[in-house]
Amino acid sequence: MAIVKSFKAIRPRKDLVDKVAALPYDVMNTQEAREMVKSNPYSFLHVDKAQIDLNPSTNQYDKVVYEKARDNLYGMIDKKIYIQDPEKSMYIYRQVMDGREQTGIVACTSIDDYMNDIIKKHEHTRAEKEQDRINHVDYCNANTGPIFLTYKNIKEIDEIVEIWTKKEAEYNFVSEDGISHIVWLIDDKNTVEKLENLFKDVKYLYIADGHHRAASAVKVGQLRRKENPNYNGNEEFNFFLSVIFPSEDLYIMDYNRVVKDLNGNSKDEFLNKVSEKFEIKPCDICEPYKPSEKCTFGMYIDKKWYKLTAKKGTYNEKDPVDSLDVSILQNNLLRPILAIEDPRTSDRIDFVGGIRGLKELEKRVEEGMVVAFSMYPTSIMELMDIADAGRVMPPKSTWFEPKLRSGIFVHELK
């Protein structure tokens, strides 16, 4: 039974929402963020990545960065760039990218559900990244970035969404990357109560994206509980900001790999070793090879594309992790041939989200990497199966598009 509740969102004025809404803090570096906000004082990056407003020599994890984030957020509230809804509500958030829609419910979810594994995870988190967002949320006294959750579709929730999305939208704008963002306000108490009850029939929610934000939000909630030993469980710090999408709406793109060297092998030696576990077929056409089915991979080396097909016996079909394409490549090529033991920490491998296209792989090889691999995307069902099994995916297994914008909704913890 999932706990999903309404909240009094702090959100931008209608005339400024397109200027405030920003990409998540972790999809760009500090210098890129500085460039993005040069002509936009309203961007939420001034909150989510506040070091852009400080001296470039400032350590991004310094206390002054979190203080600046807090001051910027509440400065925007004082200037009426942000308003707070007078009553607790839920919201519908639709994104449209290349004609494809994903439509979710914006609400708050329970830190207890996270701790009790009703909210399922599929990734490990890193302590230093968690601590950064713990400090950020704690200083801001708010969840500033939503957690991207999914669930197995429920017809009655779909029907409510269909009814409300026929009404006039609260926000409707197109971001600089051409993605449409449309928001509807659900301020009818009966509808909100019905949605809360319907989500009680959802056995599990799954984190699609935002594991570090979720873990950090939960740990801030735990800190607040220690500070308030007489808490009753209804306080806002017991919940965190989420956008909850039905699984059928979601689209996972390929998450591709590029490697700096062949681990001392010549090209011929490398191809010979690869052929032990993969069938290798040179591509006759000049276009990049995009895998169209599981267990197939594109490989770009020495200005030529090859199709790799995993041979039988190279993986366990019944194991949800071992049968992932990212695992097949890691366990049969990247680790044994190229000696990349841990992709999280190796400086010899890099990852390229599918949104950049396969030409980006060619470009990276021409610029100094030696070999690139195009991947078949992980499916949402594979993600759920792994989470249900209590397992974790290899790093960089999923690339979701479109990305949720930060700054459209803020959830205050007081």
Q: What is the pLDDT of residues 302-316, one digit of tens each?
A: 999 999 999 999 999
| 284: confidence class by pLDDT, cuts 50, 70, 90 | confident
Whether residue 391 contacts residue 121, with contact meaning beta carbons closer than 8 Å, is answered with: no
Q: How far is CA 372 from CA 160, 185, 290, 310, in A?
A: 45, 45, 12, 17
Question: Does residue 388 lie in a domain region?
Answer: no
Average pLDDT over residues 158-171: 98
Predicted TM-score (pTM) of this structure: 0.91
Paired tokens of 393: 């995916």
Question: Does residue 65 lie in a domain region?
Answer: yes
Please state, in angstroms and rounded to a whole number, the distance separating the CA atoms of residues 354 and 375: 9
Whether residue 349 contacts residue 257, with contact meaning beta carbons closer than 8 Å, is answered with: yes
| 126: confidence class by pLDDT, cuts 50, 70, 90 | confident
For residue 193, which amino acid is it?
Answer: E
Nearest C-alpha neighbor of 164 from the set 194, 184, 187, 188:
184
Shared-domain flag, residues 268 and 221: no
pLDDT in tens, 316-344: 999 999 999 999 999 999 999 999 999 98
Nearest C-alpha neighbor of 102 from the set 252, 246, 254, 253:
246
54: CB partners within 8 A, 6+ apart: 64, 65, 68
Q: What is the CATH number of the domain that holds 355?
A: 3.30.1760
pLDDT at 285 over 80: no
Shared-domain flag, residues 222 and 82: yes
Question: Does residue 336 lie in a domain region?
Answer: yes
Helices (H), 183-257: 189-199, 211-227
Shared-domain flag, residues 185 and 215: yes
Shared-domain flag, residues 365 and 233: no
Q: What pLDDT shows up at residue 268?
A: 97
Percentage of the chain surpassing pLDDT 70? 100
Shared-domain flag, residues 288 and 177: no
Shared-domain flag, residues 264 and 244: no
Average pLDDT over residues 58-66: 96
Question: Does residue 121 lie in a domain region?
Answer: yes
Whether residue 243 contacts residue 164, with contact meaning beta carbons closer than 8 Å, is answered with: no
Which residue range(s) make up the domain with 80?
Answer: 4-251+401-412
Shared-domain flag, residues 286 and 149: no
pLDDT at 286 over 80: no
Shared-domain flag, residues 127 and 163: yes
Shared-domain flag, residues 163 and 310: no
Question: Does residue 395 lie in a domain region?
Answer: no
Shared-domain flag, residues 192 and 67: yes
Kindly tell me the burial class for residue 234, based on how many C-beta atoms sit within 10 Å of its own C-beta (0-12, 13-18, 19 or more). exposed
Shared-domain flag, residues 221 and 265: no
278 DSSP β-pair partners? 310
Question: Does residue 161 lie in a domain region?
Answer: yes
**Domains in the chain, number:** 2
Shared-domain flag, residues 14 and 132: yes
Question: Does residue 390 lie in a domain region?
Answer: no
Please state, in angstroms and rounded to a whole number, the distance separating the CA atoms of residues 231 and 202: 26
Question: Does residue 85 lie in a domain region?
Answer: yes
